[in-house]
Amino acid sequence: MTAKENSLNWFEISVEDFNRAKKFYETIFDIKMETQNMMGMDMAFFPAEPGSGKASGGLVKGPMHKPGADGVKLYLNGNPDLSVALSKIETAGGKITMPKTKISDDIGHMAFFTDTEGNSIALHSQK
């Protein structure tokens, strides 16, 4: 990651009642959220400008997403390949909780880890 890149590139807000949460965010922001089922999770996406370099995110209902104080997942920018940062996590005192996993050809890869403070954080990269 360099100073020219965003340190945050994706966020997920965990939800229990998908339709209720989608309606809530569409209402308070006066937006239309596109939906998709991806990797067995229901997702609704905040409007975004693909390729702009701006951070974006969505609502997610899935087995690894439980709403509450710990519910928001931050995806830190691991480009060009998150394997570099992932390889340093355990020696720095963290724990890898989900290894590098392909999301899709066009979206790239992700991995989850717990930092030294107990926060659950994700990495994302195209490779």
Q: How many domains does the chain have?
A: 1
What's the pLDDT at 66? Answer: 81
What's the pLDDT at 78? Answer: 87
Task: Confirm whether 1 is domain-assigned.
Answer: no
Specify the 3-state DSSP secondary structure of 108: strand
Task: Confirm whether 92 is domain-assigned.
Answer: yes
Q: Which residues of the chain have pLDDT under 70?
A: 1-5, 68-71
Task: Confirm whether 67 is domain-assigned.
Answer: yes
Residue 9 Cα distances to 1, 24, 91, angstroms = 11, 23, 24
Q: Any idea what the CATH number is for the domain that residue 99 is in? A: 3.10.180.10
Q: In which domain, by residue range, is 96 found?
A: 10-125
Task: Confirm whether 3 is domain-assigned.
Answer: no
Backbone angles phi, psi at 26, to 5 degrees: -65, -35
Cis preceding linkage at 80, omega within 30: yes
Q: Two tokens at 45?
A: 């996406």
What's the pLDDT at 75? Answer: 87
- 99 - beta bridge partners? none
Alpha-carbon span 94 to 53, nearest angstrom: 28
CB 11 within 8 Å of CB 72: yes
What's the pLDDT at 33? Answer: 94
What's the pLDDT at 3? Answer: 62
Alpha-carbon span 78 to 98, nearest angstrom: 15
What's the pLDDT at 29? Answer: 80
What's the pLDDT at 85? Answer: 92
